[in-house]
């Protein structure tokens, strides 16, 4: 089952780390373990595909702080938190912060495997989405200015007739540019175009 | 929390941020626009002009309060009660905030608050407040007391957000895996698994619960969205347009539409079960943690990386999301966001509370048009058509037509290009002063006059058009008048005018011309100048402005000396001593409601003209006005001629060092609601004040203290109060922002205390809050009682003699009895002491419960994992025996670790006899640390161990030493938990003294008052919310039982050090 991504485990307790590693390796996952958040942040492989299992309570940088540090770092892998007793309020925060799940200790091994499976699948589809969008942006760059104008108008939900009026060109010309644009962007349907377009156009926030 | 304020469509109240239909619209006057065309060179392309489109914007003011300002800890929630008060929930109590100080309510002053850790707050329909605390409790707080309490069976509950106040008889609360409905005082829970139809125990994680105005209940979770329909839960089907991602937040807007957030963006409900993506957000913003609706139809989105305001709710019903404002505002764990009814956004987070408010003033950006310009503007006049001419000193002339701001080309402004004065005359021509030259520009033609060959121009060129249409120009040491033949006539020193720069000009109704210079104002009645100076009350400094108000009165504003009114041949001054905001005044405007708006270095000030008159005429000593400063978006004012302009729409424009700002005089006061002050308590120094009307102050009660408060939102500028005690003083006294008045030594009699408040915009309460008081006579003040007193003295003497005899007899009997009892008591004390120590250990263990549970969970987690892994390895032929053995060894190791934790706990809390043994204190410390390690982590406390090597041994009971150490550490953690994170240091060390060995626990907390140092070991002394204050008393007893001592000293920098010192065991026995 290799090539599915690595499970990065961050827990300050060595026995817990080791036992999780054992379970997951036994189940065929690739695993990397870390005793602290700073260890993980120093690891170049952290951008590799995979998912993260983070202990919420750790000395020094706790799980939530690590979650934030990773996000600033540009690491958007799915995060599953490991929590102990009495950390329910923290869990709501973790979920609002974009964690995909949390597991309460002691953890049932089957449950652990299931959650890791889900997290890796999510990472996979997320990466596919990002790849698709990167590709789409590349293709977007090949449009002529006029095609780009037509594209912007289509994305904004305008009809061909409205576009013709807006750009001061004939309906036929709009259809022509639109055809070329769809061809260059390699999309088959309007729905795909809008989906990719809205995603690809999402604010390059500075 | 989502506020329940409806979006109001029209203006009024506080100025709103940018809106398409903002009132700042100007129409063009066609002839003038044509004149402009003549001047605009062809090179100025339409493109350039369009790129300079600029509109006044209201700056956003951010205020942040931290622990240094009295915030007791991290903020968990912010809300508003129905009476308009702002409430903040924290990890250390809840508080009411009035913009200046926090009224803190915690276990110290609220008897029955279940826990000081507040999870969430919710306003009830009346003015009361529901407080959800740690431990799963909710109490209702009404008029300063808890009136109702609900105990839930689960922890970490928060109320559902909704548009209506939380009704005690029917409300919803939730936590990550449960939703409660409370009806008729009974709480019924349903699991998240049930709601989403996946079975009671299914793992569904709730992110938000929202109750709509119509009573619909929505639940957002990681598996989707569900709603309650006819008492049964329905899951919004897939394919509805709802994102597949886990949902992170819900918001129902005032139009009834539901907004759903995920880590990817925001979707909005368009029909019943149909959702549309409203925005896909960039990954860099992070997931959406909270959404809230602004009062102006915008959506505020708190991403985990950024806070943004988005424009939504277009007038035609469509939706668009435009990032209006972004700021690198990291949400981190900040999830408390509240928008108050004035439109300010409150954000609570780790040890801070921030408010983003919209400034009263709006500002017109200049820097984009003239990049070299330091943004400052000096002169401003209207162009007669709704636009403005601006003189930013030596960067030419700017024109703003209401939407486009551009530099006016085609004017020859000499080498320096300096504009030093502006005026628009009655023909509509613009006069531009350059210090040594004046240019009249009309209908595309320029006329110029020079009067000096100096290359360095004077500081300013004021203009005045007199009643006969002739223009007066101020220059250095003279004034010039345009004559019908086109020449300039000079009036200067030869006519008695002082030799100084002329700063200002004015004409009164009687036709006299007034000239302002440094420290003088001179009157020209047609023959010679009559000079008024300091001796006539003229303020010192340049007379920067002369202004004639509608009633014909002359006012002079000076640079440094305040303003002055001309009365009966003299100037009467008003300065800061009279409550004026600033002594440097550069402009005076009068609005259509006869209020004067002054521009000064410190901003803008407004007060009714009558108030100025009354101070200038000596009828009152204080000027009651409103000051707009940087906190309202008003920067430092500039000098100019004129430096302010009131346009026909009532907008006042002011020249400042940060460009042009404007205030809407028609909409002022922006907050027309009087504060509605109420008296909150009347207390006496000694003795209770009896309730009733009047309140009765007992005799000899000493100073009477009255406190009062104003409900309502804290404003940017503070509220002010005035009071009087009728019967003592009939005049109103200014209290400033103080909310407490103390009257020492009120003579017996009847009084009425009255207090009035004024809001930030100077709106006073219509009627004062009042309370009647009756201070009773003390007995010696009644002559009748004096006779009685003499009688009592005689009786007392007789009684005293009799009592002495009785006492002697009693004492003998008591001594005999005591001897018998003492032996028995000695035995009991020993037993009680042991029992007390035991109880205290159990209590301590209770405080450590969650730490210990976590400590135990770790090996258990590892054991379960390893056991399952081993079992799978066994059935996997590929795994070697060695790997399996290793796993089994780990299981054994972790089991021993778990058993050790349990053993440790059992010995710690067990009932036992003293067991004195030889101990190494270092070992005691090391073995005790794991008991509180998690507690340290949970509170972010950093522990440093400094153990002295080769420490001699002591003879002691191990468990008792552990008990002392754990107690000291828990106390330290408690003291540290309200400190800023970087100041949470704890050091445990050991050291050898003279014949002793000690353990020291040293923290960097707030410390203990010198006066309390000795008292900390007294029983029942506590500063904590939990516990009885017995811990340290018992610790001290334990130390004494070991012939040792427990002492406390204040650290030189901060915090305290506790030292437990014990005698060394006899020499020779040391190993």
Q: pLDDT tens digits, residue range A123-158?
A: 988 888 888 888 888 888 888 888 888 988 888 778
Please check whether residue A191 touches B, CB under 8 A.
no
Residue in B156, B246, B859 nearest the CB of A89:
B156
At a CB cut-off of 8 Å and minimum separation 6, what does A103 contact?
A53, A80, A81, A82, A83, A111, A112, A115
What confidence score (pLDDT) does residue B51 get? Answer: 39
Subunit contact A109:B864, Cβ cutoff 8 A: yes
SS3 B775: strand
Which chain A residues have a beta carbon less than 8 Å from that of B155? 86, 88
Which chain A residues have a beta carbon less than 8 Å from that of B304? 68, 71, 96-98
What confidence score (pLDDT) does residue B176 get? Answer: 86
What confidence score (pLDDT) does residue B556 get? Answer: 96
Subunit contact B937:A59, Cβ cutoff 8 A: yes
Q: Can you read off the two tokens belonging to residue B365?
A: 């950006």
Reading phi first (left if > 0) and then psi (alpha if -120 to 50, else beta), residue B478 is in: beta
Subunit contact A85:B858, Cβ cutoff 8 A: no
Subunit contact B285:A88, Cβ cutoff 8 A: no
Subunit contact A13:B853, Cβ cutoff 8 A: no
Which chain B residues have a beta carbon less than 8 Å from that of A71? 286, 304-305
What is the DSSP pairing of strand B554-558 with strand B563-567? antiparallel
Handedness of CA B489, B490, B494, B497 (dihedral sign): positive
Subunit contact B854:A102, Cβ cutoff 8 A: no
- Residue B409 CB-half CA count within 13 A: 11
Calculate the alpha carbon distances from B916 to B431, B919, B950, B1065, B1070 in Å: 101, 9, 21, 11, 15
Q: pLDDT tens digits, residue range A77-123?
A: 899 988 775 555 567 777 777 788 888 888 888 889 999 998 999 89
Which chain A residues have a beta carbon less than 8 Å from that of B156? 88-89, 92
Subunit contact A98:B263, Cβ cutoff 8 A: yes
Subunit contact B862:A72, Cβ cutoff 8 A: no
Subunit contact B222:A203, Cβ cutoff 8 A: no
What confidence score (pLDDT) does residue A199 get? Answer: 61
Tokens 């991602």 found at: B245
What confidence score (pLDDT) does residue B333 get? Answer: 55
Tokens 């409150």 found at: B346
Integer Cα distance of B708 and B85 in angstroms:
14
Report the candidate in B547, B545, B553, B505 with the shortest Cα–Cα distance to residue B529. B505
Subunit contact A97:B207, Cβ cutoff 8 A: no
What confidence score (pLDDT) does residue B14 get? Answer: 37
Integer Cα distance of A204 and A125 in angstroms:
22
- Strands of the B520-524 sheet, one edge to the other: B504-507, B513-517, B520-524, B529-532
Please check whether residue A158 touches B, CB under 8 A.
no
Report the candidate in B91, B97, B138 with the shortest Cα–Cα distance to residue B116. B91
Instruction: Mutation target for A interface from B862, B876, B973: give the one with most A CBs within 10 A.
Output: B862
Q: How far apart are the first and last CA of chain A?
A: 39
Residue in chain B lying closest to A130 (CA): B283
Write out residues 105-124 of A within 8 Å (CB-CB) of B.
105-110, 112
* Average pLDDT, 10 consecutive residues per value, chain B (1071 residues): 26 34 26 29 31 65 82 88 87 85 84 86 86 88 86 80 66 87 84 89 86 85 89 86 86 85 83 79 74 80 69 49 46 71 83 82 70 74 91 82 81 72 92 88 85 71 92 92 89 92 94 94 92 93 94 94 93 93 95 96 94 92 89 88 93 91 91 85 82 81 84 67 88 85 84 91 91 78 61 76 79 80 76 74 73 80 89 84 88 88 79 81 88 78 87 88 88 81 86 90 85 72 56 82 88 89 71 42
Subunit contact A106:B860, Cβ cutoff 8 A: yes
Integer Cα distance of B344 and B715 in angstroms:
10
What confidence score (pLDDT) does residue B515 get? Answer: 96
Residue in chain B lying closest to A26 (CA): B869
Contact of B662 with B364, CB cutoff 8 Å: yes
Which chain A residues have a beta carbon less than 8 Å from that of B333? 64, 93, 97
What confidence score (pLDDT) does residue A10 get? Answer: 94
Subunit contact B176:A88, Cβ cutoff 8 A: yes
ipTM of predicted complex: 0.73
Question: In terms of C-beta distances under 8 Å and separation of at least 24 residues, what long-range contacts does B1030-1035 make, across chains too?
Answer: B1030/B836, B1030/B840, B1031/B840, B1031/B843, B1031/B844, B1031/B967, B1031/B970, B1031/B971, B1032/B967, B1032/B971, B1034/B836, B1034/B837, B1034/B840, B1034/B963, B1034/B967, B1035/B963, B1035/B964, B1035/B967, B1035/B968, B1035/B1060
Report the candidate in B422, B457, B458 with the shortest Cα–Cα distance to residue B653. B422
**Shortest Cα distance from A95 to chain B (angstroms)?**
7
What confidence score (pLDDT) does residue B698 get? Answer: 81
Please check whether residue B855 touches A, CB under 8 A.
no
Residue in chain A lying closest to B202 (CA): A111
DSSP B246: P
Report the candidate in B222, B260, B256, B254 with the shortest Cα–Cα distance to residue B240. B260
Integer Cα distance of B556 and B536 in angstroms:
13
Contact of B713 with B344, CB cutoff 8 Å: yes
Integer Cα distance of B145 and B681 in angstroms:
13
What whole-number percentage of chain B has pLDDT above 90?
Answer: 23
Write out residues 23-52 of A within 8 Å (CB-CB) of B.
23, 26-27
Subunit contact B869:A22, Cβ cutoff 8 A: yes
Continuous H helices in B17-151: 30-39, 46-51
Subunit contact A96:B248, Cβ cutoff 8 A: yes
Angle subtended at Cα B834 by Cα B829 and Cα B839, rounded to the nearest 5 degrees: 120
Write out residues 200-229 of B within 8 Å (CB-CB) of A.
203, 205-207, 222
Write out residues 58-97 of A within 8 Å (CB-CB) of B.
58-59, 62, 64, 68, 71-72, 76, 84-86, 88-89, 91-93, 95-97
Integer Cα distance of B1020 and B1027 in angstroms:
9
Report the candidate in B441, B449, B453 with the shortest Cα–Cα distance to residue B472. B449
**Shortest Cα distance from A154 to chain B (angstroms)?**
16
Please check whether residue B265 touches A, CB under 8 A.
yes
Integer Cα distance of B454 and B431 in angstroms:
20
Subunit contact A57:B938, Cβ cutoff 8 A: yes
Contact of B133 with B115, CB cutoff 8 Å: yes
Q: pLDDT tens digits, residue range B775-797?
A: 887 655 555 666 666 677 777 87
What confidence score (pLDDT) does residue B454 get? Answer: 67
- Residue B229 CB-half CA count within 13 A: 8
Neighbours of B60 (CB within 10 A): 17
Reading phi first (left if > 0) and then psi (alpha if -120 to 50, else beta), residue B821 is in: alpha
Subunit contact A15:B287, Cβ cutoff 8 A: no
Tokens 């969430």 found at: B120
Please check whether residue B929 touches A, CB under 8 A.
no
Integer Cα distance of A54 and A10 in angstroms:
5
Which chain A residues have a beta carbon less than 8 Å from that of B203? 101
Subunit contact A101:B203, Cβ cutoff 8 A: yes
Please check whether residue A157 touches B, CB under 8 A.
no
**Shortest Cα distance from B267 to chain A (angstroms)?**
13
Backbone angles phi, psi at B590, to 5 degrees: -125, 125
Tokens 């108050």 found at: B340
Question: Is A74 exposed, middle or buried (CB count within 10 Å of its CB: 0-12, 13-18, 19+)?
Answer: exposed
**Shortest Cα distance from A15 to chain B (angstroms)?**
6
**Shortest Cα distance from B122 to chain A (angstroms)?**
17
What whole-number percentage of chain B has pLDDT above 70?
Answer: 85
Question: In terms of C-beta distances under 8 Å and separation of at least 24 residues, what long-range contacts does A89-93 make, across chains too?
Answer: A89/B119, A89/B156, A90/A56, A90/A64, A91/A56, A91/B176, A91/B205, A92/B156, A92/B175, A92/B176, A92/B206, A92/B207, A93/A64, A93/B333, A93/B335
**Shortest Cα distance from A171 to chain B (angstroms)?**
26
**Shortest Cα distance from A48 to chain B (angstroms)?**
17
**Shortest Cα distance from B297 to chain A (angstroms)?**
21
* Residues linked to residue B637 through DSSP beta bridges, in sequence order: B656
Which chain B residues have a beta carbon less than 8 Å from that of A84? 850, 853-854, 857-858, 934
């Amino acid at each position: 089952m290799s090539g599915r991504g690595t499970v990065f485990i961050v827990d300050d307790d060595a026995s817990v780390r080791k036992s999780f590693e054992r379970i997951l390796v036994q189940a065929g996952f690739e695993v990397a373990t870390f005793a602290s958040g700073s260890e993980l942040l120093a690891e170049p492989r952290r951008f590799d595909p995979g998912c993260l299992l983070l202990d919420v309570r750790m000395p020094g940088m706790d799980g939530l702080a690590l979650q934030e540090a990773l996000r600033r770092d540009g690491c958007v892998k799915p995060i599953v938190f490991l929590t102990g007793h009495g950390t329910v309020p923290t869990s709501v925060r973790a979920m609002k912060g974009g964690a995909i799940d949390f597991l309460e200790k002691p953890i049932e091994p089957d449950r652990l495997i299931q959650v890791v499976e889900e997290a890796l699948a999510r990472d996979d589809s997320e990466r596919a989405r990002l790849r698709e969008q990167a590709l789409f942006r590349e293709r977007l760059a090949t449009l002529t200015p006029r095609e780009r104008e037509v594209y912007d108008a289509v994305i904004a939900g305008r009809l061909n007739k409205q576009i013709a009026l807006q750009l001061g060109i004939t309906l036929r010309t709009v259809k022509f540019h639109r055809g070329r644009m769809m061809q260059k962007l390699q999309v088959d349907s309007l729905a795909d175009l809008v989906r990719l377009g809205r995603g690809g156009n999402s604010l390059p926030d500075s | 929390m989502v506020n329940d304020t409806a979006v109001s469509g029209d203006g009024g109240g506080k100025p709103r941020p940018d809106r398409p239909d903002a009132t700042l619209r100007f129409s063009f006057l066609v002839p003038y626009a044509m004149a402009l065309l003549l001047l605009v060179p062809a090179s100025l392309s339409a493109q350039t002009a369009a790129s300079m489109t600029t509109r006044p914007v209201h700056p956003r003011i951010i205020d942040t309060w931290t622990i240094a300002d009295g915030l007791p800890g991290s903020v968990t929630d912010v809300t508003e009660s129905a009476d308009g008060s702002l409430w903040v929930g924290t990890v250390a109590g809840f508080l009411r905030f009035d913009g200046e100080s926090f009224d803190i309510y915690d276990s110290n002053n609220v008897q029955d608050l279940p826990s000081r850790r507040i999870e969430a707050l919710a306003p009830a329909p009346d003015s009361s407040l529901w407080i959800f605390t740690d431990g799963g409790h909710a109490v209702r707080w009404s008029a300063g007391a808890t009136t109702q309490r609900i105990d839930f069976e689960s922890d970490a509950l928060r109320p559902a957000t909704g548009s209506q106040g939380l009704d005690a008889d029917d409300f919803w609360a939730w936590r990550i895996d449960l939703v409660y409905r409370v009806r008729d005082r009974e709480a019924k829970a349903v699991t998240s698994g049930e709601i989403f139809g996946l079975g009671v125990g299914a793992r569904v994680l709730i992110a938000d619960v929202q109750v709509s105005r119509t009573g619909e209940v929505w639940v957002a979770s990681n598996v989707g969205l569900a709603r309650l329909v006819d008492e049964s839960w329905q899951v919004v089907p897939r394919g509805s347009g709802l994102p597949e991602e886990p949902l992170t937040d819900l918001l129902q807007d005032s139009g009834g539409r539901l907004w759903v957030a995920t880590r990817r963006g925001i979707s909005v409900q368009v029909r019943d079960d149909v959702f549309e993506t409203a925005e896909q957000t960039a990954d860099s913003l992070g997931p959406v943690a909270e959404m809230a609706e602004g009062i102006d139809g915008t959506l505020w989105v708190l991403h985990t990386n950024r806070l943004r305001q988005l424009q939504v709710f277009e007038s035609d019903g469509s939706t668009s999301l435009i990032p209006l404002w972004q700021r690198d505002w990291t949400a981190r764990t900040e999830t408390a966001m509240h928008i108050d009814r004035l439109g300010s956004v409150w954000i609570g987070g780790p040890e801070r509370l921030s408010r983003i408010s919209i400034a009263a003033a709006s500002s017109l950006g200049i820097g984009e048009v003239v990049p070299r310009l330091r943004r400052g503007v000096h002169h401003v006049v209207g162009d007669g058509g709704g636009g403005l001419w601006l003189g930013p000193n030596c960067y030419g002339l700017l024109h703003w037509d209401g939407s486009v701001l551009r530099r006016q080309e085609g004017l020859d402004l000499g080498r320096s290009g300096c504009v030093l004065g502006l005026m628009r005359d009655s023909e509509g021509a613009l006069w531009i002063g350059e210090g040594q030259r004046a240019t009249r520009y009309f209908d595309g033609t320029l006329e110029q006059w020079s009067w000096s060959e100096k290359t360095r121009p004077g500081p300013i060129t004021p203009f005045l058009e007199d009643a006969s249409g002739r223009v007066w120009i101020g220059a250095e040491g003279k004034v010039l008048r345009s004559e019908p033949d086109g020449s300039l006539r000079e009036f200067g020193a030869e006519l008695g005018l002082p030799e100084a720069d002329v700063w200002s000009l004015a004409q009164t109704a009687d036709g006299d011309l007034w000239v302002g210079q440094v420290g003088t104002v001179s009157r020209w009645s047609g023959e010679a100048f009559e000079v008024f100076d300091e001796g006539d009350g003229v303020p010192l400094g340049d007379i920067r402005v002369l202004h004639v108000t509608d009633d014909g009165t002359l006012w002079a504003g000076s640079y440094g000396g305040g303003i002055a009114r001309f009365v009966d041949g003299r100037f009467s001054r008003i300065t800061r001593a009279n409550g004026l905001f600033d002594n440097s005044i550069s402009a005076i405007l009068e609005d259509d409601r006869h209020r004067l708006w002054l521009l000064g270095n410190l901003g803008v000030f407004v007060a009714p003209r009558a108030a100025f008159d009354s101070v200038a005429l000596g009828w009152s000593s204080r000027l009651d006005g409103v000051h707009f400063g940087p906190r309202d978006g008003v920067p430092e004012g500039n000098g100019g001629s004129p430096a302010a302009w009131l346009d026909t729409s009532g907008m006042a424009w002011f020249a400042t060092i940060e460009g042009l700002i404007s205030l809407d005089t028609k909409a002022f006061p922006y907050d027309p609601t009087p504060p509605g002050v109420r008296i909150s308590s009347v207390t006496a120094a000694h003795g209770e004040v009896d309730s009733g009307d009047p309140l009765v102050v007992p005799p000899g009660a000493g100073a009477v203290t009255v406190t009062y408060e104003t409900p309502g939102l804290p404003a940017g500028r503070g509220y002010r109060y005035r009071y009087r005690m009728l019967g003592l003083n009939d005049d109103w006294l200014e209290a400033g922002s103080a909310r407490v008045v103390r009257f020492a030594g009120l003579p017996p009699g009847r009084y009425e205390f009255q207090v009035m408040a004024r809001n930030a915009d100077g709106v006073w309460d219509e009627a004062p809050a009042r309370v009647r008081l009756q201070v009773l006579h003390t007995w010696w003040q009644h002559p009748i009682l004096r006779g009685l007193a003499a009688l009592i003295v005689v009786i007392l003497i007789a009684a005293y003699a009799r009592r002495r005899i009785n006492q002697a007899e009693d004492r003998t009997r008591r001594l005999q009895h005591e001897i018998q009892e003492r032996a028995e008591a000695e035995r009991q004390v020993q037993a009680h002491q042991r029992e007390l120590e035991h109880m205290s250990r159990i209590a301590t263990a209770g405080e450590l419960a969650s730490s210990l549970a976590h400590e135990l969970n770790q090996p258990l987690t590892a054991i379960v994992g390893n056991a399952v892994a081993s079992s799978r390895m066994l059935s996997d032929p590929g795994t070697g025996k060695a790997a399996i053995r290793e796993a089994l060894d780990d299981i054994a190791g972790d089991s021993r670790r778990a058993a050790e934790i349990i053993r440790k706990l059992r010995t710690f809390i067990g009932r036992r006899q003293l067991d004195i043994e030889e101990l190494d204190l270092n070992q005691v410390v090391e073995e005790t640390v794991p008991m509180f390690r998690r507690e340290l982590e949970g509170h972010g406390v950093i522990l440093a161990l400094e153990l002295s090597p080769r420490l001699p041994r002591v003879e002691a009971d191990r468990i008792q030493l552990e008990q002392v150490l754990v107690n000291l550490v828990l106390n330290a953690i408690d003291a540290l938990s309200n400190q800023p994170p970087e100041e949470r240091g704890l050091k445990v060390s050991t050291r050898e003294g003279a014949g002793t060995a000690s353990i020291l626990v040293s923290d960097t907390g707030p410390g203990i008052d010198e006066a309390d140092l000795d008292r900390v070991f007294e029983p029942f002394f506590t500063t904590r919310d939990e516990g009885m204050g017995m811990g340290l008393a018992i610790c001290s007893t334990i130390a004494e039982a070991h012939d040792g001592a427990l002492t406390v000293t204040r650290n030189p920098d901060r915090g305290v050090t506790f030292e437990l010192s014990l005698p060394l065991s006899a020499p020779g026995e040391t190993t």
